[in-house]
Amino acid sequence: MAEEDLSEMAKDVELHLKLDPPLSANNKPSRSFKTSSSSSPPPCDTSHVLENVLENVLKFLESRRDRNAVSLVCRSWYRVEAQTRSEVFIGNCYSLSPARLARRFTRVRSLFLKGKPRFADFNLMPPDWGARFAPWVAVTAKAYPWLEKVTLKRMFVTDDDLALLAASFPGFKELVLLCCEGFGTSGVAVVANKCRQLKVLDLIESEVTDDEVDWISCFPEGETHLESLSFDCVESPINFKALERLVVRSPFLKKLRTNRFVSLEELHRLMVRAPQLTSLGTGSFSSSTENAGQGEQEPDYASAFRACRSLVCLSGFRELAAEYLPAISPVCANLTSINFSYANISPDVFRPIIRNCHNVRVFWALDSICDEGLQAVAATCKELRELRIFPFDPSEDSEGPVSGLGLQAISEGCRKLESILYFCQRMTNVAVTAMSENCPQLTVFRLCIMGRHRPDHVTGKPMDDGFGAIVKNCKKLTRLAVSGLLTDKAFSLIGEYGKLIRTLSVAFAGDSDMGLRYILEGCPKLEKLEIRDSPFGDAGLRSGMHRYNDMRFVWMSSCRLSRGSCSDIARALPSVVVEVFGSDDDDVDVDEDNADYVEILYMYRSLDGPRKDAPKFVTIL
């Protein structure tokens, strides 16, 4: 192998896989590499056979962490692993270039790319920041003609990108776009039309512009391979007759998630034609006004649900007419996943429904179900693993129908809980502590007390003790989001006990740089750190120098950082890209007083240095 390849690989291994400098320097020399100056001898027959065997064995290995470990054994294993890895996951699209991907992995069938950091979801990032899919589709179109599956999260995807994708991969089977934007119904139409092997087309929480294209009609005639079709985020009407015909000619369809332009009557027609569905997004779940006045006999919705014997996942309810909700009763006992988070359901309507849902494992809802509703969940859903309660009125001073009462009830009833996201107006340390004690399986704890700096509403004390209890008692915790009034003490507890935490979200919390130091010095597994509006400054940032190479990214906005310290980091860590920018995309002609002030810092490790597509408002230090 040529010298450059070796050092490239070594760099890959070092940075991407968090290894110490290459083992080859210290290991016993093996046959496949001598000194780096001469090219290695051609592999002899034995090693060919071994590689062959290895290739066949590695085909069974799917987990990327296992594969990363395998690739570290020696160069031969590295090479074979690279040739057999068919699913590639890239957690930050700017951590490497598409060219590098194509060089290392030769037979990729499935690509998962993540783009913008999560805080971009909340309008904290100016538009046109980047994370374009275009360079990736251009490279993979040539490198992986047999690509079958693409999953993108928070990427900017254009119609042209989708057209190129549809044209380049004849065997393309699965497209999943999560929280993406930049494309419209015309791009979707091309994919529907050109990808003849398409099994999965899932548009989830993405922004899809309405190009006034009837994309449903663009699916080719004849039987399709469709197994999953999700378009509940598409905010434009669809051609229902075409959808009905599509469903009829898709015998393998298991998951169908319609958008809010599908009425209850239309849903009924679909269900009758597809009783084999396992997952259903119910669209508006209200009667279209056209039918309301005609006095026609209403379809028997309950029996349509009864006929769907395999239905385990329900979502939608975008414009719920509550009087129809009981129609789902026949399937309640089978449901493992319910998403009511777009439906304003009151406790009285909710309780009779949830009473039958003994098998629910994933439950998302609005806080309109109130503490009462949560108590009902706690009483019935003993298998609950994941709970998400979103605010109906997402503002700081709204009523707040859920509180520590509901949280505590859940903790007492749902002992197997692993993941929780809970929005509320007020909380107590007692309730949070109770959850830490009752739910030892928690891996994800995200509590959002919507009032900034709000203390425990009973004692008036900071929420330090509650979050402290969480990190102390939940020994499997890997993801934590904190809120409410928090002092540096909370962070010292997180640093002390949060040894497995990989993702940490902080907002409006802490007193001083010490808070940041505690985290950076204490949490060895930390990969993703996102902080906003907290009094952490240069000293805190500097204290993490030893960590940034091992982290996927750090986001700090509206903190107390200066350009100087960010430049220092950039200088000291050449493999970390340090971006600073403001929250508007205006040119940064800032007043001189604030010229040194960093509004947003976003830094991430990268194998290929600073990106070339950064917009003007982004400064890469």
Task: Give min distance, CB of 249 to another protein, in A.
Answer: 18
User: In a 3-state reduction of DSSP, which class is residue 503?
Assistant: strand
Q: What are phi and psi of 512, to 5 degrees?
A: -155, 180
Which of 35/294 has CB closer to another protein? 294
Within 142-161, the residues that bind another protein by CB under 8 A are 159-160
Please, which residues have CB within 8 angstroms of residue 361's CB and are 6 or more apart in sequence? 336, 337, 383, 384, 385, 386
Segment interacting with another protein (CB under 8 A) among 20-28, 88-96, 397-405, 408-416: 397-405
Task: Give min distance, CB of 86 to another protein, in A.
Answer: 29
Which of 239/310 has CB closer to another protein? 239
Within 159-178, the residues that bind another protein by CB under 8 A are 159-160, 163, 167
Query: CA-based angle 445:507:450, to the nearest 5?
Result: 75
Q: Applying CB under 8 A, does 212 fall inside the site for another protein?
A: yes
Segment interacting with another protein (CB under 8 A) among 181-189, 268-276, 305-313, 488-496: 181-189
Q: Applying CB under 8 A, does 399 fall inside the site for another protein?
A: yes
Helix (H) or strand (E) holding 141, with range, is: helix 134-143
Q: Applying CB under 8 A, does 3 fall inside the site for another protein?
A: no
List the structure tokens of 434: 């109770």
Which of 349/414 has CB closer to another protein? 349
Nearest alpha carbon to residue 532 among 14, 124, 68:
124
591 burial type by CB count under 10 A (0-12 exposed, 13-18 middle, 19+ buried): exposed
Task: Give min distance, CB of 507 to another protein, in A.
Answer: 7
Task: Give min distance, CB of 473 to another protein, in A.
Answer: 25
Within 287-306, the residues that bind another protein by CB under 8 A are 289, 292-293, 295
Q: What is the residue type of 530?
A: E
Please, which residues have CB within 8 angstroms of residue 317's CB and are 6 or more apart in sequence? 282, 285, 325, 339, 340, 342, 343
User: In a 3-state reduction of DSSP, which class is residue 318?
Assistant: coil
Q: What are phi and psi of 246, to 5 degrees?
A: -65, -45
Distance CA 392, CA 34 (A): 65
Query: Which one among 110, 236, 356, 567 touches another protein, defined by CB under 8 A?
Result: 236
Nearest alpha carbon to residue 448 among 378, 532, 563, 554:
532
Which of 86/428 has CB closer to another protein? 428
Distance CA 81, CA 54 (A): 8
Q: Applying CB under 8 A, does 596 fall inside the site for another protein?
A: no
Within 519-578, the residues that bind another protein by CB under 8 A are 532-533, 535, 558-560
Binding mask 237-276 for another protein (x = CB under 8 A): x-----------------------x---------------
Tell me the chain's radius of gyration from C-alpha atoms: 26
Q: Applying CB under 8 A, does 496 fall inside the site for another protein?
A: no
Segment interacting with another protein (CB under 8 A) among 105-113, 392-400, 402-410, 513-521: 392-400
List the structure tokens of 2: 């040529």
Query: Which one among 391, 404, 466, 484 touches another protein, defined by CB under 8 A?
Result: 391
Helices (H), 195-313: 240-248, 264-273, 289-292, 301-307
Task: Give min distance, CB of 372 to another protein, in A.
Answer: 9
Nearest alpha carbon to residue 158 among 134, 127, 191:
134
Within 306-365, the residues that bind another protein by CB under 8 A are 318-319, 322, 341-342, 344, 346-349
Which of 96/125 has CB closer to another protein? 125
Within 86-125, the residues that bind another protein by CB under 8 A are 119, 121-124
Nearest alpha carbon to residue 499 among 518, 471, 530:
471
Task: Give min distance, CB of 516 to another protein, in A.
Answer: 16
Binding mask 13-42 for another protein (x = CB under 8 A): ------------------------------
Query: Which one among 47, 168, 186, 549 touches another protein, defined by CB under 8 A?
Result: 186
Q: Applying CB under 8 A, does 615 fall inside the site for another protein?
A: no
Task: Give min distance, CB of 147 to another protein, in A.
Answer: 19
Query: Which one among 390, 473, 521, 542 touches another protein, defined by CB under 8 A?
Result: 390
Which of 400/522 has CB closer to another protein? 400
Which of 163/200 has CB closer to another protein? 163
**Count, residues near another protein per rule CB under 8 A:** 76
Helices (H), 153-196: 159-168, 185-194
Q: Applying CB under 8 A, does 373 fall inside the site for another protein?
A: no
Task: Give min distance, CB of 267 to another protein, in A.
Answer: 18
CA distances (Å), origin 525, targets 19, 21, 307, 499: 14, 20, 48, 7
Segment interacting with another protein (CB under 8 A) among 242-250, 390-398, 457-465, 514-522: 390-398
CB 545 within 8 A of CB 517: no
Query: Which one among 165, 180, 190, 480 touches another protein, defined by CB under 8 A?
Result: 190
Please tell me the total number of residues recorded for the chain in this structure: 621
Task: Give min distance, CB of 137 to another protein, in A.
Answer: 13
Please, which residues have CB within 8 angstroms of residue 555's CB and are 6 or more apart in sequence? 117, 119, 529, 530, 531, 532, 600, 601, 602
Q: Applying CB under 8 A, does 396 fall inside the site for another protein?
A: yes
Around Cβ 487, how many Cβ atoms within 10 Å?
17
Within 437-456, the residues that bind another protein by CB under 8 A are 448, 450-452
Query: Which one among 47, 68, 168, 193 touches another protein, defined by CB under 8 A?
Result: 193
Nearest alpha carbon to residue 9 among 72, 90, 84:
72
List the structure tokens of 456: 């425990």
